[in-house]
Amino acid sequence: MASMASISAARGGTSPSGNQLEAFDYFLVVDFEATCEKDQRIYPQEIIEFPSVLVDGATGRIESAFRRYVRPKHHPVLTQFCRDLTGIRQEDVDGGVDLGDALLLHDAWLKAATAGTWAGAKKGGGLAVVTWGDWDCRTLLESECRFKGIAKPPYFDRWINLRVPFEAMLGGTGQTNLQEAVREAGLEWEGRLHCGLDDARNTAHLLVELMRRGAKIEITGSLAPVPLIREKQQQQKPCISPYRITGSLALPPRIGQQPHASPCRGVVAVPGPMQGKRFLGCGNWTPTMGVVCPYFVWGS
């Protein structure tokens, strides 16, 4: 483990290349496990293991660890592939908690583990979430919380994808997996691959090693709310839809009017292959149908 002096120097000073490093009081390393099946996707994909490791930014020590198994709602029975991959048993998730409860328990653990020294709970402050890749925070947690209407702590809205400083220092093509990265950094892999808590611990060790070497550790990803453009609100009617509307809504077409004459723009919010994609709707919707009809033009 890196010494306190080397980590403190990295946080408050400069790297060998002269880059000023952003200091964080704590790093919160997460690696979620989710429902899955071999060679196919499950919708909605749900978190089944919620692990977190707290690293002191000044010393590089792992101060505390958190884990809760989460009970999936839409696919409550784990596939054989999922059980074999993650080592999570059916009885683990059957006795687990809902995702909303896991988030509340995690938040209480974090406040207790930092003993009130972390003052930036609302804005992120001196805390940075760390992941290997963007999937955990950008895709999985965000999608499930939106789909289920669950509020999550704002510190999950920005994170450090450790792959970025790893590849900046040691090279790579974006395809290096976590286990390979740990070994390329000269560390020994500890525990079981795809056990969320073990993966988080190994990610934490890799983080500290990169800090020791003077890597630039800074926020690499974030989530921003999608603005709602309101035009002529007095002429708009609400659209009950599984899509998040980001442009003005068109009124239902008049008799004889082409259904795609008055478009509305939006982003697909429900989990699935088109999630995050933008669409152009024809405006031919009804409150009873709750959708904006199939006349979509999909874009990136």
Question: Encoding tokens for residue 245?
Answer: 């509307």
- The answer to whether residues 245 and 264 touch, using CB atoms and an 8 Å cutoff, is yes
Q: Give the phi and the psi of residue 280 in degrees, each rounded to 5.
A: -120, 110
Question: Encoding tokens for residue 13?
Answer: 């000073």
User: Could you list the active site residues?
Assistant: 33, 194
User: In sequence order, what DSSP letters do the residues of 159-222 get, joined into one string?
Assistant: EEETHHHHHHHH---S---HHHHHHHTT----S-TT-HHHHHHHHHHHHHHHHHTT------EE
Cβ-in-10-Å burial (0-12, 13-18, 19+) of 177 comes to exposed
- The answer to whether residues 11 and 3 touch, using CB atoms and an 8 Å cutoff, is no
Question: Encoding tokens for residue 211?
Answer: 């800090």
* Angle at the Cα of 92 from the Cα atoms of 89 and 98, rounded to 5 degrees: 130
C-alpha distances in Å from residue 186, one per residue of 5, 170, 172, 183: 20, 11, 15, 5
What is the spatial distance between Cα 70 and Cα 72, in angstroms, rounded to a whole number? 6
Question: Encoding tokens for residue 127?
Answer: 């805390």
Question: Encoding tokens for residue 18?
Answer: 């002269």
Residue 47 in 3-state DSSP?
strand
